[in-house]
Amino acid sequence: MSPEQLKALIRDVPDFPKPGILFRDITPLLGNAKAFDAAIGRLADSVQAFGSDGLVAIESRGFLFGAAVAQRLKLPLQIVRKPGKLPSKTAGISYALEYGSDRVEIHVDAIEPGKRYTIIDDVLATGGTAAAASDLLRSLDGRVTGCVFFIELGFLGGRARLKGTPVASVVSY
């Protein structure tokens, strides 16, 4: 399926989760096995092009795409989560949001020093979470080969926040 065909399966939900936000709902795509398989194939192609030794998926919808891509490519998968969600010892990083701050964490033993990782998530918006995940991996001596996203909201400028890290996306707005 083409990116345009996949994009047609993304539902626009106005004013969610708050007024003024246009939410891009991927659940119709997830409910279409052929479309989801095509999306995973396109993401997997990007991960392969980056030459990764493993994947790092960002909470929570990034887990959906990350697990499927990791399984398809037979790559190890690690996860980045919000604070307090991982059961073992973690490393974390705080980052600035437009109005406040947030934090992400990963298990301290999740990243093998010197190994190459691609970060995967459902949406690239402002790039703050992906940039924080990249910084977190680098702080553990992992190499970030690229970031892949199913959806990119280009008008929000997230690529610029990723400081030259290669970025691939399947559909763009």
pLDDT of 47-68, one tens digit each?
Answer: 999 999 999 999 999 999 999 9
Any catalytic annotation for residue 61? yes
**CA of residue 58 relative to chain centroid, distance:** 5
Structure tokens at 64: 């959906």
Catalytic residue among 61, 72, 116, 138: 61
> What confidence category does residue 43 fall into, taking pLDDT thresholds of 50, 70 and 90?
very high
Report how many domains make up the chain. 1
Q: Classify each residue of 102-140 as buried b or exposed e, where b means 16 or more C-beta atoms within 10 Å of its C-beta.
A: eebbbbeebbeeebebbbbbbbbbebbbbbbbbebbeeb
Any catalytic annotation for residue 152? no
Sign of CA dihedral 134, 140, 141, 145: negative
CB neighbour list of residue 141: distance below 8 Å, 6 or more residues apart: 111, 113, 114
**For residue 73, what pLDDT is reported?**
98
Average pLDDT estimate for 89-105: 92
Q: Mean pLDDT of all residues in the chain?
A: 97
Catalytic residue among 42, 59, 81, 98: 98
* Owning domain of residue 105: 3-172
Which CATH number is 162's domain given? 3.40.50.2020
**For residue 97, what pLDDT is reported?**
81
> What confidence category does residue 99 fall into, taking pLDDT thresholds of 50, 70 and 90?
confident
- What is this structure's pTM? 0.96
